Structure 1
Amino acid sequence: MDERTRLRLDVSYDGTGFSGWAAQPTRRTVAGVLVETLDLVLGAGTATGLTVAGRTDAGVHATGQVCHLDLPTTVWREREGQLLRRLARLLPTDVRIRAITEVPAEFDARFSATFRRYEYRVTDAPYGADPLRRHEILAWPKPLDVDALNDAAAGLVGEHDFAAYCRRKENATTLREVTRLEWRRAPDGVLVATVQADAFCQAMVRSLVGAMLVAGDGRRPVEWPASLLARRERSSEVTVAPAHGLTLVAVGYPDDPAEYARRADLTRRLRVPAEA
């Protein structure tokens, strides 16, 4: 077998026109577009093992997505100087590969990750979202109190069973550790929620946002989102916030490449991360 080289790809995309990350035979997806373009540039099947850090749902955006793939070392050596520009010319404008980096074979975009960080954007302006930003900002019909949003967020930080906020998958745990959850109002008036955890269950981020928003506009007490953590199944009271306000902004990895394999082994033993 030919020697192969592992490559890390840093990817951004506007999720509006995609049915999520994962390849689907009859739908346009980010993975499908990437594989199609890689096959066009390198030859069908030359790039193998495309693996992503977080399989985003339909309509979710990314500025800091990470994936890896393997190429025959001879092909990589021949193409490394011009591969990024060739892909840029052929990829559709709503997805960009921003960097291609050679990494150790032990690097796993999914299992070596130490955290995923998302941002969710909401406007409570009476006129709604700016037309040029309507695909990345949710227009909320009621005024929102930043202090109330942060009070609601505080009770959700830490390691908890987030079953009330997850679409449960068979044999998958809903135990997660949220290390950062906070709201701020940007200078343009847009409210930005930053949510960071070791991993997320499917729809977890948007469910958390949906619960916090009704506390932020006064329809629920600020203690309500945290009170749902006592439940062991998904709460029908939680409305999942729309996908278009959510962006994956960063994925973290160990600083020392020697830790990639250890981190991957640990993650596999703990859980199988699902979509956020």
Structure 2
Amino acid sequence: MRLRIDLAYDGGAFYGWAVQPDIRTVQGEVESALRRILRVAADDADEPLRLVVAGRTDTGVHASHQVCHIDISEDVLQRAVGHMKVAAVTALEHRLQRLLPGDIAIHRISVAPEGFDARFSALERTYVYRIVDRGGEVDPRLRGCVLHIDDDLDIDAMNRAAAMTIGLHDFGSFATPNPGGTTIREVKRAQWTRIGTSPLVPPSGRESGRESGLEQGYIVPTFESGLVCFTIVADAFARNMVRSLVNGCVQVGLGKRDLDWFAGKMAVPKREGSTGPIAPQGLTLEHVAYPSDDQLAVRAQAIRAKRTLP
């Protein structure tokens, strides 16, 4: 049977998603915990317990909602129950959450619908990159998920650059293809926004200001107040694509490059040093969307085809 696993993680202490020998990765931690719970040896060829993920994240990149799947035999799944008087899938969810380290959280484990593939059935992925520039106050508590830039960013110029990415393009200037793959992707949305500053508990009426003894400066701000956020949605992303696009937009926003330069990078998909990836900590995978259950297999089959430009 196939299980769908929805999870989140703080990527700061991981060398990315994909399992690698002798270093800490998200996939490695989850698979190791699954083998321990289900009493499966790492070299068991009959029950490999290998996760397939919607989108591999790089070293230091976070996910507030990642999706993966795993194929497992029903008799092995039953080992998760133990003394618990719950269904096997529920038992596995509870045990996995308790066993995993604090920088990984399991949202849900469920039996996957027929035709579901965490990677190939996905319609789109949404990433958000968060920056605090000189126009905002630096909160050291957010250093693990927000990039600090010393200068002011020109949001209008960055949005003009981002608008060039929307549609079906070859992002070879900003990404590296997988072996046998391409850097052709369809971007559905790409937008920079400076989040307005707003308090978590705004003062109002008699409770406002000095009458309540609560100064405006002590009103707790919301998490993203003052941040510059880049939201990008695409059917899929090539390696380093999001962080490289962010870097290109930031160079435009800082006045180091102009829009003609960015347009040239989009027109000629050739990788070179000025379009490398920006620091990873500001990037979070926020959402993975899937079609209705009856379209899962159709979508998976279609997306496996190698894409070309018209």
TM over 0.5: yes
SS in 1 for 2:275: coil
Give the AA of the match of 1:52. Answer: V
Give 1:7's match in structure 2, choosing from 3, 18, 31.
Answer: 3
Contact 1:63 1:248 in 2 (8 A): yes
TM-score (norm 2): 0.81
Matched, 1:134 2:170: no
SS in 2 for 1:163: coil
What corresponds to 1:218 in structure 2? 255
Distance 1:128 1:240 in 2: 25
TM-score (norm 1): 0.91
Following superposition, the deviation at residue 50 of structure 1 comes to 1.2
Give the AA of the match of 1:40. Answer: R
Matched, 1:54 2:71: no
> Between Structure 1 and Structure 2, which shows a larger proportion of strand residues?
1
What corresponds to 2:99 in structure 1? 90
What corresponds to 2:300 in structure 1? 264
Distance 2:90 2:165 in 1: 46
The unaligned stretches of length 5 or more in structure 1 are 272-276
What corresponds to 1:30 in structure 2? 26
Contact 1:65 1:249 in 2 (8 A): yes
Distance 1:62 1:173, change over 3 A: same
Larger-gyration structure (1/2): 2
Contact 2:163 2:190 in 1 (8 A): yes
Following superposition, the deviation at residue 229 of structure 1 comes to 1.4
SS in 2 for 1:269: coil
Distance 2:96 2:56 in 1: 21
Q: How do 1:163-202 and structure 2 match up within 5 A?
A: 163-187=172-196, 188-202=225-239
Distance 2:135 2:298 in 1: 50
SS in 2 for 1:48: coil
Structure 1 residues 114-123 or 139-148, which shifts more?
139-148
What corresponds to 2:283 in structure 1? 246
Question: What RMSD in Å do the two structures reach over aligned CA positions?
Answer: 1.8
Distance 1:13 1:24 in 2: 17
Distance 1:82 1:26 in 2: 29
Give the AA of the match of 2:151. Answer: K
Give the AA of the match of 1:258. Answer: D
Give 1:21's match in structure 2, choosing from 17, 20, 27.
Answer: 17
Following superposition, the deviation at residue 100 of structure 1 comes to 0.7
Give the AA of the match of 1:19. Answer: Y
Distance 1:243 1:81 in 2: 34
Give the AA of the match of 2:63. Answer: A
What corresponds to 1:274 in structure 2? none
Contact 2:130 2:283 in 1 (8 A): yes
Matched, 1:209 2:246: yes
Matched, 1:148 2:157: yes
Structure 1 residues 158-167 or 126-135, which shifts more?
126-135
SS in 2 for 1:107: coil
SS in 1 for 2:269: coil
Give the AA of the match of 1:217. Answer: L
What corresponds to 2:39 in structure 1? 43
Distance 1:239 1:124 in 2: 20
Following superposition, the deviation at residue 123 of structure 1 comes to 0.6
SS in 1 for 2:12: helix
Distance 1:25 1:14 in 2: 20
Distance 1:252 1:233, change over 3 A: same
The unaligned stretches of length 5 or more in structure 2 are 42-46, 82-87, 197-224
What corresponds to 2:217 in structure 1? none
Distance 1:265 1:137, change over 3 A: same
Contact 1:228 1:235 in 2 (8 A): no
Contact 1:156 1:226 in 2 (8 A): no
SS in 2 for 1:82: helix
